[in-house]
Structure 1
Amino acid sequence: MSNPSPSADSPTPPRCIDVVHKHLGKRYRAERRFRRLGISAIVIGMCFLVILFTSIVSRGYTAFVQTYVELDVHFDPDYIAAPGTTDYATLSAADYGGLVKATLRDMFPAVTGRQDKRNLYSLVSAGAGYQLREMILANPDLIGTTQSLWVPADSEMDMLIKGHVDRDLPESERRLTDTQLAWIDQLQQQQRIELRFNTTFFSAGDSRDPELAGIWGAAMGSILTLIVTLALSFPIGVAAAIYLEEFAPRNRLTDLIEVNINNLAAVPSIVFGLLGLAVFINFFGLPRSAPLVGGLVLTLMTLPTIIIASRAALKSVPPSIREAALGIGASPMQTVWFHVLPLALPGMLTGTIIGMAQALGETAPLLMIGMVAFIVDIPSGVFDPATALPVQIYLWADSPERGFVERTAAAIMVLLGFLITMNALAVILRKRFERRW
């Protein structure tokens, strides 16, 4: 019995190509929407990044210049010592602050009231006295002479010259009085006020006075801390990665170690600070606020990152390299040391640099071990009290003076410069030594 033929009125089943064409436009539209969403996300992220950098730069670029005032200083022996005196203790203990005040009184003889004198003295930074002291200690023959010197202005005057103070505000709403503004105008008319490059910002340690504060002490603390971190984390991290990847047996113990390494990479950094406080300071008795302890804590924090990156670099080396080395009689250690490790080293260095950049920007673990202390002197060793650049930024951000606001932003710019340089170096090393297998 033959099958009945389809009637003329029955619908023809759609062809596969027709079904594809029917939904093709919808798929293309969905793909375009997804692409637009991705581009929009990138644009929004870039806009926020531009806003962030613009805000930081607009607040901090003025910190790279400092207001200076020209004073005609007469090195009066009554304030210092008799001409010809070379005794260091005598010259060091002289009243250089009083010498600066006497110079200002000579420049403004009409100022007689006690409060007016205080306001006049406050126009010049306390660093002017230290500057005169260094000059006399370097050359005692200046005693009895008159010299024209440029000394740093006080922070409030510096903010005014830089345009951060609105002169049109009522006197009660600004920190400079109308009389002080008149004195500043007089100095400007006499061309005794200049903006100069702020070398103090890059060469000095911390200070209570914004115009005397610098980042060099914190930068040295960060450098010493990173040296300790690199000296410990790189060899330990690479050795651990080589053992786990090349020699460790596959059992529950190594699986547990690998899981814990991956988990440690996600532990909040403040936990490492608590560990450093409990172990290195309370148990071993190492000094607080020292780059040595900071380096040990940051080593614990960066080790998981270096181990994971080093293992990934070792995995990228083809097995044929190992097989060829073993085939010509090399031992497993010789195979790793002379053949696998040189090929994986660029990737290891990249992971190490990224870990160091992460350590450079950390603040929380360093706060826990006491590197938040007010440090004026520049550290010269890993046992000296020190702070770090991120911690210095944290301290300045908590200061109420307007002068510290611009220095906070300027220090952030310097820190971002270091971070961008380190990440760019990692990218360059990866591009330069990367091999495609």
Structure 2
Amino acid sequence: MASPLNTAAGFVAALRGAAPYVHAHHGRVFVVAFGGDTAARADFPDLLHDLALLHSLGVKLVLVHGLRPQIDAQMRAHGLEPTFTHDLRVTNAAAMECVKAAAGILRTDIEAQLSAGLANTPMGGAHLSIAGGNWITARPVGVRSGVDHQLTGEVRHVALGAIRDVLAQDRVALLSPIGYSPSGEAFNLRAGDVAGAVAAGLGADKLIFVLDSDLRAWRRLLRSRSSGHLSLDELDTFLQHPRRKPLAAENRALLDSALAAGRHGVARVHLVGAANDGAILRELYTRDGSGLMFYADADYEALRTATLDDIGGIQALIAPLEAQGVLVPRSREKLELDIGHFDVAVRDGTVIACAATQPFPDAGMAEFACVTVHPDYRDAGYAAALLARAEARTKAAGGTGLFALTTHAPHWFIEHGFSRSQVEALPIAKRELYNWQRKSLVLVKAL
């Protein structure tokens, strides 16, 4: 069967679906870090082509590459054995020469790939300009766990003005994990630390790590929701949990960099799998992405009282069910009058679930109505969360019960504490409006 994107309608739908993200990302600063293992993949040129497309779509790019396997290969070619303590390389003078050689070769290869422009390739017409410089000032990490790491360093200062000038010229900034000291020494740095420091210093909108590992394993590790996103607070709680199994040092360093960047102003940090073709495009230009995301903004996903600005989203959500006869149609005017009774679940600016709690104070009850969840998010607990808010609303107003009318979902209500009842159990005002032709089932729940 042909992919939906291979049809004209599928292509148009995908392009229109990406449009809000094209607008949102245009002119934004993204720092993208990828390890040397990712750069060693046979399909690495595909990632670079996707990064070039991001630039063409108006994203201001800062790229940071890693070097670990390339350094190891250089060292072994010179008869040297790599040495690590807790995943931190010990870099002596001989190893540092291998770092410089590996960085020069990989950087040249990356620049060559990003300079391609054959008309029949994804780089056709791209015309990227790449810039680099001595933008990272570093200092030695010193002695750790009783081991002198010599020329292994950490970021001391980032020449943010120079990087901003490059981005203002519509050029791509490319950084290698090497820093320099005022005394003229060069230090071997962790690419993740460089990327985090640059992203935080620039106030980047996104920091993206492209990993040569299985993102499903990361989701299981972090116990993230199926949607693949966690707040920074949830990440911090995970890292500090006393019963958590110890993380591999490399993974811990990556998550620490993600958390630090988020705490220093980077709104969203993404982990994307290099093995999935086009993963970075799907992560950035679809609502649910393809990887794992940590977000600092509290409103990325929220359960809250609806406002007038949500009416369009509510209408789009409930319209299909109204057309099927599952919900009673509501006009925009009716929604505007009742908007204060609605709660919504919002994800990345999109209303993905809603429900109304219509009070009947004379009867000490409220109606739980218009319960709708977007098909992509059903069975994720949103309806239950909206029910909890409805119960809290009703109790706060002095009510003692909820009721619901349904023709299609009685079992869901029963599973959540409702029981079948009769029309006579409804408040008088609601009973007078009951549609005997529709014959909705009556369910009630005592609070």
Structure 1 or 2: more strand by fraction: 2
Between structures 1 and 2, the one with greater helix share: 1
TM-score by length of 1: 0.22
Q: Larger Rg: 1 or 2?
A: 1
Length-normalised TM-score, structure 2: 0.22
